[in-house]
Amino acid sequence: MPFTDAVSRYQIYAILLVLLGMVAVILTVLGFQHLGGYVPCKLCYGQREPFYAAIPIAMIGLLSAWFKWPACLTRGSLAIVGLLMVYSVVLAVHHAGVEWAWWAGPTDCGGGDTVEDAGNLLNSLANAKPPACNEAAGRFLGLSFAGWNVVASVVLAVIALKGAFQTQKS
């Protein structure tokens, strides 16, 4: 019997680990943005959306495991989160490919200007260009933020999907 009514210990650990991992990723990118001064481009913002959707779903899965709700809720949450992380991998690979000039990026990503004159805010906003999607803001150990998102999203997807489809051991 592949699925029983009980949630396995691995599934509990998986949903907790995936939730903590996703929160850590979002806090990291927000820290780089607001504390480090890295201005995200359109594709960077898009890569956050699967995390914003998956975090509440993972919370529901964790609550269902904690309160011993039907196991299908925890497994279903893990499956949905896993699929959202797979989607995050697709978005991040696309962005990394744009940065490496393997394919063209969106036409509405320009060279990155920031607004510096608060007294002339409206005029500055009208003339500001969004950050370029084809230029990595920085590289750490050879990978850009998009590249690191690929790594993090793959790890989170594997943990979540393994937890969703893990069977009880007899």
Residue 140 in 3-state DSSP? strand
Q: Which residues pair with 143 in a beta bridge?
A: 140
Query: Would you write out the chain's pLDDT as a tens digit for each of its 170 residues?
Result: 344 457 888 889 999 999 999 999 999 999 988 888 888 888 888 999 999 999 999 999 999 988 888 888 999 999 999 999 999 999 999 999 888 888 877 777 765 555 555 666 666 555 555 677 777 777 788 888 888 999 999 999 999 999 999 876 53
Choose among 90, 61, 78: nearest CA to 159: 78
Whole-structure pTM value: 0.81
Q: What letter would DSSP give residue 109? A: -
> Looking at domain 9-103+113-165, which CATH architecture does it have?
Up-down Bundle (1.20)
Structure tokens at 89: 């991998």
Domain ranges of the chain: 9-103+113-165
